């Protein structure tokens, strides 16, 4: 075992023997809920930036990825500096980092912000929850099996919920903009991939290191497209405050808190509590943006959220 990998192995061993006390469960649940609420509110903040301040989705994705990536690497450097150095020196991991950066971080950020731009924060975040269907598809193909009864019921509910959101209950019309629906489904597929593709890297170098490198690479790729040096949106004090929130709290903080909670309560409980994300996005959209959701929309949201509890 290399010196760089010892901290990750030690942390994995601690997690394997970790006895979850009531206090651990309470703290972990609080962390997951806080992270989920931050991510949900971040969707509304992004909508404000793209609407009131005319921020382009690609520009916002680029800035968010670069600065959040720096924060991830700083945190990794403080906690596990040897892993940061080891990841940089290990050329055999470069190709994995590259395709994970494209397939996961870049596509997730761009598709999510584009879905928000075309629809609203609540709808985009609910559609992102469909990532569980893509994870289920991967698992079934890998294990060469058909979905179980609960999984099949979850798929049906997710399909019906998506149709209700897209058509408003009238199958002859498409209420949701087609591009919004497409970007939402692309975001869901990329989010599903993010929970699968980088796992080998995470096991080797740790979460903070891997995410820091992927965010930085993704941001650098967007630089020649976003071209922040040629000018950008004009912000007042509120605009700068929203930018700080979307980077520090909405991206780095939300992800960091959620992962800290997962360690304490486990992935299953975290997934269930993570349903607070679309709820927070929907409520904040109504409160701050005046978004209007019809009863059909809300029924579709509920069906998709129930899907989360059926597909495990």
Instruction: Please write the tens of the pLDDT for every residue from 157-187.
Output: 888 988 888 888 777 777 889 999 999 999 9
CA separation for the pair 99, 240 (Å, rounded): 32
Residue 6 CA: distances (Å) to CA of 9, 14, 49, 213: 5, 12, 42, 20
pLDDT above 70 for 312: no
Is 185:128 a contact under the CB 8 Å cutoff? no
Residue 136 CA: distances (Å) to CA of 147, 182, 195, 258: 8, 20, 12, 22
Instruction: Give me the residue spans of the domains in the chain.
Output: 21-310
- The answer for residues whose C-beta is within 8 angstroms of residue 304's C-beta and 6 or more apart is 126, 129, 130, 157, 158, 161, 162, 165, 278
- So what's the pLDDT on residue 10? 52
For 204-257, how does the pLDDT look when each residue is reduced to its tens digit (9 = 90+)?
888 889 889 999 999 999 999 999 888 789 999 999 999 999 999 999 988 888
pLDDT above 60 for 6: no
Higher pLDDT, 276 or 245: 245
CB-count exposure of residue 21 (10 Å: 0-12, 13-18, 19+): exposed
Query: What is the 8-class DSSP label of residue 130?
Result: T
- So what's the pLDDT on residue 3? 56
State the CB neighbour count (10 A cutoff) for residue 127: 30
- So what's the pLDDT on residue 307? 83
pLDDT above 90 for 267: no
Nearest to 111 by CA among 190, 197, 227: 190
For 111-162, how does the pLDDT look when each residue is reduced to its tens digit (9 = 90+)?
999 999 999 888 898 898 888 888 888 888 988 898 888 888 888 988 898 8
Is 127:184 a contact under the CB 8 Å cutoff? yes
- So what's the pLDDT on residue 168? 80
Polymer length in residues for the chain: 312
pLDDT above 50 for 16: no
- So what's the pLDDT on residue 15? 47
| Tokens coding 110 | 């761009």
CA separation for the pair 94, 86 (Å, rounded): 12
pLDDT above 60 for 8: no
- So what's the pLDDT on residue 259? 75
Higher pLDDT, 48 or 307: 48
- So what's the pLDDT on residue 54? 93
- So what's the pLDDT on residue 14? 46
Q: What is the pTM for the complete model shown?
A: 0.83
Q: What is the mean pLDDT of residues 1-18?
A: 51
CA separation for the pair 178, 181 (Å, rounded): 5
Nearest to 60 by CA among 225, 186, 192, 276: 225
* 3 half-sphere exposure, CB direction, 13 A CA radius: 6
For 62-112, how does the pLDDT look when each residue is reduced to its tens digit (9 = 90+)?
999 999 999 999 999 998 999 999 998 999 889 999 999 998 889 989 999
CA separation for the pair 176, 269 (Å, rounded): 32
């Amino acid at each position: 075992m290399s010196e760089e990998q010892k901290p990750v192995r030690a942390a994995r061993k601690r997690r394997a023997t970790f006895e979850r006390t009531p206090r651990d469960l309470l703290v972990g649940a609080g962390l997951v809920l806080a992270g989920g609420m931050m991510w949900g509110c971040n969707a509304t903040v992004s909508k404000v930036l793209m609407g009131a301040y005319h921020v382009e989705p690609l520009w916002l994705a680029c800035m968010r990825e670069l600065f959040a990536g720096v924060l991830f690497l700083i945190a990794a450097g403080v906690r596990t500096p040897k892993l940061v150095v080891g990841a940089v020196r290990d050329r055999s991991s470069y190709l994995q980092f590259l395709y994970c950066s494209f397939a996961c971080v870049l596509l997730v950020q761009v598709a999510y912000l584009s879905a928000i731009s075309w629809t609203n924060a609540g709808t985009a975040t609910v559609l992102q929850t469909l990532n569980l269907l893509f994870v289920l598809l991967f698992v079934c193909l890998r294990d060469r099996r058909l979905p179980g009864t609960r999984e099949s019921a979850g798929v049906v509910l997710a399909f019906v919920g998506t149709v209700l959101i897209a058509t408003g209950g009238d199958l002859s019309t498409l209420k949701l903009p087609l591009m919004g629906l497409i970007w939402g489904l692309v975001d869901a597929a990329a989010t599903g991939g993010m929970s699968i593709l980088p796992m080998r890297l995470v096991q080797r170098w740790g979460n903070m290191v891997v995410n820091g490198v992927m965010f930085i690479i993704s941001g650098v790729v967007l630089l020649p497209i976003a071209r922040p040096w040629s000018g950008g949106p004009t912000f007042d004090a509120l605009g700068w405050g929203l930018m700080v929130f979307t980077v520090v709290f909405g991206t780095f903080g939300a992800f960091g808190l959620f992962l800290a909670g997962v360690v304490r309560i486990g992935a299953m409980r975290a997934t269930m509590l993570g349903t607070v994300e679309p709820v927070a996005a929907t409520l904040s959209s109504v409160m701050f943006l005046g978004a209007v959701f019809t009863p059909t929309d809300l029924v579709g949201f509920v069906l998709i959220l129930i899907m989360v509890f059926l597909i495990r």
